[in-house]
Every structure is written in structure tokens, then in C-alpha cells.
Amino acid sequence: MAAAIALTVILCALAVFQLALALGAPLGRFAWGGAHRVLPARLRIGSLVSIVIYAVIAVLALDRAGLIDVVPDGVSIVGMWIVFGYFVLGIVMNALSRSKPERYTMTPVVTVLAVLSLLVALS
């Protein structure tokens, strides 16, 4: 249960970050490869899509932990394993980023998300 809550809290913080990016905050060096200080329109849309993805992940995690009951158990079980794989891929992608701020900030964050999602998937 604690892992699902921690995962959700971090995802909420990332959602706020993505919303700031979508609204034009000059934080682009921390996301999307770090090539833009202020994101262009297509990446701002990507940031909004990320918020939706984070919400779906949070629902899956909270459902898997038994804190809510909105999806069938099979969906939350399989879904959390997919989420774990998604975050493992995120570790690789962030670690390979040409942007040092993204690499040094987001790689550890996604690593924590991967570990938390693994704990939730195993629960």
C-alpha cells in the first residue's frame, strides 16, 4: 500500500511539472531530450498526454494496492507489469539523454518509479 501511495505522490509531482511545461515554463532542459528551453507545441501536447498516462498509472497502482476498486483485478495485475516495463524503458531513455539536467534528474526519479511499480506489481 505504501509503495502505491508513494508512486502516486511522485506521479502527481510529475504531472504538475508536465503541466508547467505544457503552459510554457522554461524547464524544457529537464524533459523530452532537453533540446528546448520552452517546449514547442507538439511537445506541449506530449506533456498533456503524459499527465493522462500518469493518472492511468496512479489508478492502476491504487487499484492493485486495494485502495480503490475501479478496474478488474486482472487488468490491474497485468497493467502494473506493463507500467514496470514502461518505467524500465524510461530509465534507459533518460540515462541516454543528451541533456545533463534531464539525465541527472529524471533518471533517478524514473528509477524510483520503476522500483515502486515493481513492488506494487508483486503485491
- The residue assigned the cell 508547467 is 20
What's the CA angle centered on 79, arms 73 and 83, to 5 degrees? Answer: 145
- What is the H or E stretch that residue 62 is in? helix 41-64
For residue 25, give its domain range: 2-122
Count CB atoms within 10 A of the CB of residue 37: 10
**pTM, to two decimals:** 0.88
Cell matching residue 94: 533518460
Count of structural domains within the chain: 1
pLDDT tens for the chain, 123 residues long, are 999 999 999 999 999 999 999 999 998 888 888 888 999 999 999 999 999 999 999 999 999 999 999 999 999 999 999 999 999 999 999 999 888 988 999 999 999 999 999 999 998
